[in-house]
C-alpha cells in the first residue's frame, strides 16, 4: 500500500513480531469462519458464496504473504520464483478486494430491501456469475499487468516494484472508495431504521434488552467497516508513522477475526449449531448426515 520507495531495508523487529502473531491469529479465525460457512450450506447461497470466497482469498493471500516474508532471504535471490510469488500475491489480494466489494454490494441490497437474498433460480445464476467476476477480474488485471510490464514483479520484498504499484493500488483505490460509500449508505439506513422503528416487538422489550440490541447493532456496524476493507485506507499514510503502521497491520490482519465475530459468534443460529456440534462431540458421536448438521439453522 506504500507508494514511496523504502528509505532503507532495515525491518523493525517489533513490527515483524506483531505482524507474525497478528496474522497467525487472523488465519486461525479465517479458517474457523470458512469451516462454518462451508458446513452451513443451507444459508442463502449468494451471500454465503461471497463470504466463503472472501475467506478463501484472504486466507491464501495472508498465508502466502506470511510465508514469503518469513523465508524472504531464501526466496529473494531466486528472481523468477520471487516474481511468480509476487504475481500470485497480486492475484489473491485483488481477488480479496473484489469479494469485499461484492459483499458490500450484497449487504447494501439486503439492508435496502430489509431482507436477505434468498435462494431461487435467479439467485442460483447470480452466485455462479459472482464466482466468475470474483476471480476473472483480478486474473484479467494481473494478466494485462504482466503482459504490459513483465519486469514489474519481484521487488526486494518479492512484491510489486515501485513504478508498478498502481496496477494494484488503482483497482484497490476504486474498490475502497466504492466500499466506503456503500458503508456510509448502509450506516444511514441502519440509523434511519433504528430511529423510526415503532414495532410492537421492541416496545414490549425491557430497556436493558433494547440497550443490548443497540450495542449489538453498533458493534456489527463498526466491524463491517473492517470486514469491507475500508481500514486499508490507512496504508497510504502508514509509512512515516509507526503507530499508524501498527494499527493498519492489526486491523487488516484481523479481517478474518471480525468476519468470524460478526457472522458466527454474534449469530444466534450459528451459536445454536455450535452447541449442537458440542453436544454431539461430548456425547461421543458426530452427526452422519448433512441434514442433521443443519436442522438447527437455515440462515445467518
Q: Helices 79-113 and 45-70, interaxial angle, to 10°?
A: 150
pLDDT of residue 117 exceeding 60: no
Judgement on whether residues 155 and 209 belong to the same structural domain of the protein: yes
Judgement on whether residues 199 and 276 belong to the same structural domain of the protein: no
Distance separating alpha carbons of residues 93 and 58, to the nearest angstrom = 7
pLDDT of residue 300 exceeding 50: no
Q: Give the three cell numbers for residue 142.
A: 494481473
Give the model confidence (pLDDT) of 121-179 as tens digits: 455 677 788 899 999 999 999 999 999 998 899 888 899 988 889 999 999 999 999 99
Count of structural domains within the chain: 2
Judgement on whether residues 74 and 95 belong to the same structural domain of the protein: yes
pLDDT of residue 8 exceeding 80: no
Is the separation of the CB atoms in 30 and 256 below 8 Å?
yes
Judgement on whether residues 199 and 234 belong to the same structural domain of the protein: yes
DSSP state of 229: T
Distance separating alpha carbons of residues 119 and 209, to the nearest angstrom = 32
Distance separating alpha carbons of residues 12 and 24, to the nearest angstrom = 18
Residue 292 lies in domain: 267-300
Per-residue pLDDT at 44:
56
Judgement on whether residues 115 and 237 belong to the same structural domain of the protein: yes
Judgement on whether residues 193 and 285 belong to the same structural domain of the protein: no
* 293 inside domain: yes
Question: What number of CA atoms fall less than 13 Å from residue 164's CA on the CB side?
Answer: 22
pLDDT band at 26 (very low <50, low <70, confident <90, very high): very high
What average pLDDT does the structure give for the chain?
Answer: 81
Which residue, chain included where needed, has cell 461484492? Answer: 102
Contacts of 271 (CB under 8 A, 6+ apart): 265
- The share of the chain scoring above pLDDT 70, in percent, equals 80
Q: What is the signed CA dihedral for 240, 241, 245, 248, rounded to 10 degrees?
A: -110
Per-residue pLDDT at 170:
94
Q: What is the mean pLDDT of residues 79-104?
A: 95
Judgement on whether residues 274 and 146 belong to the same structural domain of the protein: no
Is the separation of the CB atoms in 43 and 244 below 8 Å?
no
Select, from the ranges 57-71, 197-211, 216-230, the one with the highest average predicted confidence (pLDDT).
Answer: 57-71
Is the separation of the CB atoms in 83 and 153 below 8 Å?
yes
Which residue, chain included where needed, has cell 479458517? Answer: 31
Per-residue pLDDT at 294:
45
Distance separating alpha carbons of residues 30 and 260, to the nearest angstrom = 7
* 1 inside domain: no
Judgement on whether residues 187 and 299 belong to the same structural domain of the protein: no
φ, ψ of residue 43 in degrees (nearest 5): -65, 160
Distance separating alpha carbons of residues 234 and 245, to the nearest angstrom = 8
Contacts of 41 (CB under 8 A, 6+ apart): 48, 290, 294
* 8 inside domain: no
Distance separating alpha carbons of residues 176 and 135, to the nearest angstrom = 18
pLDDT of residue 234 exceeding 80: yes
How far is C-alpha 204 from the geometric centre of its chain's CA atoms?
Answer: 37
Judgement on whether residues 119 and 255 belong to the same structural domain of the protein: yes
* 5 inside domain: no
Of 115 and 75, the structure prediction assigns the larger pLDDT to 75
Which run of H or E residues covers position 138?
Answer: helix 121-148
CATH of the domain at 204: 1.20.1070.10
* 290 inside domain: yes
Q: What is the signed CA dihedral for 259, 264, 266, 272, rounded to 10 degrees?
A: 180
Judgement on whether residues 27 and 175 belong to the same structural domain of the protein: yes
Q: What is the mean pLDDT of residues 5-18?
A: 70
pLDDT of residue 295 exceeding 50: no
Strands (E), the chain: none
Judgement on whether residues 256 and 277 belong to the same structural domain of the protein: no
Amino acid at each position: 500500500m506504500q507508494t514511496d520507495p523504502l528509505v532503507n531495508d532495515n525491518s523493525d523487529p517489533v513490527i515483524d513480531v506483531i505482524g507474525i502473531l497478528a496474522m497467525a491469529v487472523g488465519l486461525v479465525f479465517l479458517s474457523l469462519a470458512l469451516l462454518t460457512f462451508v458446513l452451513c450450506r443451507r444459508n442463502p447461497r449468494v451471500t454465503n458464496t461471497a463470504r466463503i470466497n472472501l475467506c478463501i482469498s484472504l486466507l491464501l493471500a495472508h498465508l502466502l504473504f506470511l510465508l514469503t516474508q518469513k523465508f524472504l532471504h531464501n526466496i529473494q535471490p531466486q528472481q523468477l520464483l520471487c516474481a511468480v510469488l509476487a504475481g500470485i500475491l497480486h492475484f489473491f489480494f485483488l481477488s480479496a478486494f473484489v469479494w469485499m466489494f461484492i459483499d458490500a454490494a450484497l449487504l447494501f441490497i439486503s439492508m435496502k430491501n430489509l431482507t436477505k437474498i434468498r435462494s431461487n433460480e435467479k439467485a442460483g445464476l447470480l452466485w455462479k456469475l459472482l464466482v466468475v467476476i470474483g476471480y476473472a477480474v483480478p486474473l484479467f488485471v494481473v494478466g494485462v499487468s504482466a503482459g504490459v510490464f513483465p519486469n514489474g514483479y519481484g521487488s526486494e520484498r518479492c512484491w510489486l516494484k515501485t513504478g508498478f504499484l498502481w496496477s494494484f493500488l488503482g483497482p484497490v483505490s476504486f474498490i475502497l472508495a466504492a466500499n466506503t460509500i456503500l458503508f456510509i449508505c448502509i450506516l444511514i439506513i441502519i440509523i434511519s431504521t433504528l430511529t423510526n422503528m415503532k414495532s410492537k416487538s421492541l416496545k414490549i422489550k425491557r430497556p436493558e434488552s433494547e440497550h443490548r440490541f443497540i450495542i449489538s447493532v453498533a458493534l456489527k456496524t463498526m466491524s463491517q467497516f473492517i470486514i469491507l476493507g475500508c481500514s486499508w485506507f490507512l496504508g497510504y499514510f502508514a509509512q512515516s508513522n509507526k503507530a499508524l503502521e501498527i494499527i493498519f497491520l492489526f486491523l487488516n490482519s484481523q479481517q478474518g477475526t471480525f468476519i468470524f465475530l460478526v457472522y458466527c459468534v454474534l449469530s444466534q443460529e450459528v451459536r445454536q449449531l455450535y452447541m449442537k456440534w458440542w453436544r454431539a462431540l461430548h456425547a461421543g458421536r458426530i452427526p452422519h448426515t448433512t441434514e442433521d448438521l443443519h436442522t438447527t439453522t437455515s440462515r445467518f
